[in-house]
Structure 1
């Protein structure tokens, strides 16, 4: 299946995330704790925890740090209780934004998120305001140059829902959240190295922003990202500075 060119925008997003590596450990630790608390500390029986531990290892987190936080979450050590809360809103040009947080103080968190939206020209919305514009799915992205036919055969055989090639040759593999691990493992076993592989909230449609609007939207996203309690920010803007 063909798709519009997303590669530059995807690389832009990845680059912005890479610039914020200082927050990676904090976010991964919270994800580990919530996943372990909800599904238990057994990696073989808890897919969400496996993904969180994979992220921790990719960020070079020591094994003892990973284990200590799993133990905290499962009651073996005293720890902080984090609550997951999602906020929704609108950015520049009506772009949709989802903000996933993990917090031990939701009054503090909602105030910080609301302040970021209002300061940078966005608007907080009610629950359900924009979530319908996103799909919860697994997303695996391969750089231009990968063998499209081979990737498609491997991905679909492993249970992928769709394989999309954009105008620049980048390949996007979409899966259900439950099939994500199996598809990712099959693609990697075949020798392909994804640029991005994650369970995400994927925008069904996008809003193109350029010039001043693109800059304003990036400021809004950056301010939200800087909030300590924010885990992930999803949006449907195609930012072209």
Structure 2
């Protein structure tokens, strides 16, 4: 990755997520329902549900809402059935994009995603067309100024796969998805609070975009993220 702009890109992404905070509960609700339906209501046996509930609490979702969504998923209440679906495509400058959705109407969702790609300068791809450019990982990002030695010692001891220090001074820790919780617990226990900690699709290589191309790419990403059925949008563009 081009480390010089890593921190700026992450901060920019966080800022845009904060602007859309009103939609966060909807996405978390779907994640809770799908996770509970797939792995059951016992958080001790269902790490995906445990992470979804952590996200819900961090977003200040009331405990009653969380319980109601778990009950819906496990048959204690009537609810909508969501399925997970992934779409892939290309953005400005050939940048790779993955769009993860949860939907109760696949026909509607694919039409919305395809329309967004075509209207805003992208191209919808086939399954597997860009996914190979990403790796499913646990990712932690620390602000410039955090002790590299301490992060490295704690993270690697807890089972992290890699610790990367970028040119801008930010530190990135990567783990296998099953090890995410153990690494997070160790970092938190050592007083090392990551600015971002998530299980994500991390781009193996990036495409740098600037000026009008960066603006067009951001518009495409915004439109995709604003679609009702979209949960996450991953891409490999560095916007300068």
TM-score of the alignment, normalized to the shorter chain, above 0.5: yes
Deviation digits for residues 131-184 of structure 1 (CA, Å, limit 9, x no counterpart) = 000000000111111110011000000000000011111110000000000001
C-alpha contact 1:3 1:165 (8 A) present in aligned 2: no
Flag as ranges the 4+ runs of structure 1 deviating above 4 A: none
C-alpha contact 2:89 2:125 (8 A) present in aligned 1: yes
Question: Structure 1 residues 110 and 3 mapped into 2: Cα distance closer, same or farther (>3 Å)?
Answer: closer
Q: Partner of 1:25 in structure 2?
A: 25
Q: Aligned-pair distance for 1:10?
A: 1.2
CA RMSD in angstroms comes to 0.9
Q: Partner of 1:102 in structure 2?
A: 102
C-alpha contact 1:162 1:174 (8 A) present in aligned 2: yes
Q: Partner of 2:112 in structure 1?
A: 112
Question: Structure 1 residues 3 and 146 mapped into 2: Cα distance closer, same or farther (>3 Å)?
Answer: farther
Q: Partner of 1:4 in structure 2?
A: 3
Q: Partner of 2:149 in structure 1?
A: 149
Q: Partner of 1:237 in structure 2?
A: 237
Q: Partner of 1:181 in structure 2?
A: 181
C-alpha contact 1:99 1:230 (8 A) present in aligned 2: yes
Q: Aligned-pair distance for 1:112?
A: 0.3
Q: Aligned-pair distance for 1:3?
A: 6.9
Q: Secondary structure at the match of 1:169?
A: coil
How do 1:128-139 residues align onto structure 2 when only pairs under 5 Å count?
128-139=128-139
Number of corresponding residues: 239
The range that moved more, 213-222 or 9-18, is 9-18
C-alpha contact 2:35 2:48 (8 A) present in aligned 1: yes
Q: Secondary structure at the match of 1:69?
A: helix
Gaps of 5+ in 2: none
C-alpha separation in 2, matches of 1:97 and 1:3: 18
C-alpha contact 2:2 2:206 (8 A) present in aligned 1: no
Q: Partner of 2:163 in structure 1?
A: 163
Q: Partner of 1:212 in structure 2?
A: 212
C-alpha separation in 2, matches of 1:218 and 1:44: 39
Deviation digits for residues 9-33 of structure 1 (CA, Å, limit 9, x no counterpart) = 1111111111111110000000000
C-alpha separation in 2, matches of 1:127 and 1:181: 30
C-alpha separation in 2, matches of 1:76 and 1:228: 26
C-alpha contact 1:30 1:102 (8 A) present in aligned 2: yes
TM-score (norm 1): 0.98
C-alpha contact 1:93 1:209 (8 A) present in aligned 2: yes
Q: Secondary structure at the match of 2:3?
A: coil
Q: Aligned-pair distance for 1:4?
A: 2.1
Q: Secondary structure at the match of 2:180?
A: helix
Gaps of 5+ in 1: none
C-alpha separation in 2, matches of 1:3 and 1:154: 25
